[in-house]
Amino acid sequence: MPDVSTQPPGVASALPGGPRRRPGRTVPVLAGAVAGGLVALSVPPFGFWPLAWLGLGVLAFVLPGQGRRVRLAVGAAFGLVDFAVGLAWVQEFSVYGYVALVVISAAYSMVAVLLVPAHRRGGVALGLPCTFVLADWARDRFPLGGLPLGGFSLGQAAGPLAAVLRLGGSLALTAETVLAGVALAELARWVVGGRDNPAHDRRRAPAVTVGAVILAVVLPVVGQWSPSGAGGHRAAIRVALVQGGGPRGTRAINTDPQVVFERHLRESAAISGPVDLIVWPEGVLQASSAATYAADAADLARLAVRHGATVVSGAEQPVGATHYRTDVLAWNPQGQVVGRYVKNHLVPFGEYVPFRSVIQRLFNLADVPYDAIPGHSSGFLPTPAAPLAVMISYEVFFDERARGGVRAGGELLVVPTNTASYRSTQVPTQEVAADRLRAWETGRWLVQVTPTGYATVVSPTGAVIRKSHLDAAQVVSATVPLRTGYTVYDHIGDESVALIALLGWLVAWRGALRGRLSRLRSRLSRAGTTAPGI
């Protein structure tokens, strides 16, 4: 038997009993990139929702047995490809901003994969859904209030797992989507018959893996049969959504607000029949002078009187010389302003510039000359037509904004928005997906209107009942029931789901650490029995 210590480098690993080479990281990293691409294609505007299951299945398949460095690289590859596609719309405004947002968003995926206890398949099966839930919870809040766009839960709005939204909102849907990927990975292992690799568990799948597969099937069924938010009997109301039309890819600073107002006023003439609620988009009521603003507001008051209806419209009003406020105003059928909601969740670098005094020295901020002032209310807007839960534009991507308005008494979700500044369909289609998620999780009907589309009417089961055409001038009308009940998610909110995920992650790591300790004891025991006597 040759002396291993005298052999050239690399020979020892080929000898019987010699140390094995650690598997390379190229294949797992490439698999992570492919997984990220598949997940990105599951999100609108592509919207092939099964691809998220497949992509997350690839991720769950390659992770068991991988060390920290490989997991870090796999997570980075996954996140960079995923968000490079999912946030492509940002390039329309700033290439630097696009790169920064992709890197920041990818960091959440990278950390999520790194924190998975990947020593055994059971650790991946339980840990991967938990870490992605925690990553989504954090990404929805930090930095600068969060950026949920591009998240793969948006792609599942049309899929069969969506009923789980009633139980735990989009965080629960994130967990379910990862569990579906885990189930596919386990099926793939069963089909190929396992791998002769000590980094993978050769034994039968542990109970936690079987549990993950069962949960992927059972939880949507439980969600379907859970409280739907219907509550007691309430009358339906007739709603008219006014989309004024116009060109897309335009900036507010380059657009005459009076032209936009006139388009919507002209299209409102097409409203026919009895109507209870007329909704105009975000920011349509704004003018260069106080006199013009007052005249336009009077036109909206006359519209309310003419139809004997409540009129709700987005408005922008200056506050001093350097700030403004984004509102939603409500006129009663007598033409009086009876309610106001001020937008809470503002778009960083779109509606305000954080650290403006510093950043303006480095970049041209001409596209965002003023900063909006945020409101601090729940989104509840009582009107003669119905108690409304209002979300303005960007707010529809945040679960807690819808939940807050509903918990305060809102019986119908209303989303005045403005997607005219986006040339591509990526943001408008993701916004429709967000509409579907918010309707599912709160058990409410939802109506949305924007100057150039999409105007939508969405049922409490996420079905898009009405949808306008992009760019067209159009009135979308529908009869929508009011609802007063609560779903499970309405009761528990995001923090409860995040806490469950944190506990699940700790359980997954406890199992991994217990396995490490058991192996260490076994090695010490063998070393003790083979030690030479003295």
DSSP 302-334: HHHHHHTSEEEEEEEEEETTTEEEEEEEEE-TT
Closest CA to 488 of 409, 403, 408: 403
**What is the predicted pLDDT for the residue at 522?**
63
Q: Is the dihedral of CA 152, 459, 342, 326 positive or negative?
A: positive
**What is the predicted pLDDT for the residue at 237?**
97
**What is the predicted pLDDT for the residue at 525?**
64
**What is the predicted pLDDT for the residue at 519?**
57
Q: Which pLDDT tens digit goes with each residue over 399-451?
A: 999 999 999 999 999 999 999 999 999 999 999 999 999 999 999 999 999 99
Token pair in block for residue 148: 């949920």
Sheet holding 412-416, edge to edge: 380-382, 387-390, 412-416, 446-449, 456-458, 464-467
CA distance 286 to 300: 12
- Assign a CATH topology to domain 236-341+380-482: Nitrilase/N-carbamoyl-D-aminoacid amidohydrolase (3.60.110)
**What is the predicted pLDDT for the residue at 360?**
86
pLDDT values of the chain reduced to their tens digit, one per residue, 534 residues: 344 444 334 433 333 333 444 456 789 999 999 999 999 999 999 999 999 999 999 999 999 989 999 999 999 999 999 999 999 999 998 899 999 999 999 999 999 999 999 888 888 999 999 999 999 999 999 999 999 999 999 999 999 999 999 999 999 999 999 999 999 998 888 777 654 444 444 455 556 567 777 888 899 999 999 999 998 767 899 999 999 999 998 877 778 899 999 999 999 999 998 999 999 999 999 987 889 999 999 999 999 999 999 999 999 999 988 999 999 999 999 999 999 999 999 999 999 999 888 888 888 888 888 999 999 999 999 999 999 999 999 999 999 999 999 999 999 999 999 999 999 999 999 999 999 999 999 999 999 999 998 999 999 999 999 999 999 999 999 999 999 999 999 999 999 999 999 999 999 888 666 655 555 556 666 665 554 544
**What is the predicted pLDDT for the residue at 3?**
44
pTM to 2 decimal places: 0.90
Token pair in block for residue 394: 């960007």
**What is the predicted pLDDT for the residue at 397?**
98
Residue 366: is it exposed, middle or buried by C-beta count within 10 angstroms (0-12/13-18/19+)? exposed
**What is the predicted pLDDT for the residue at 14?**
39
Closest CA to 177 of 146, 152, 201: 152
Q: Which residues contact 254 (CB under 8 A, 6 or more apart)?
A: none
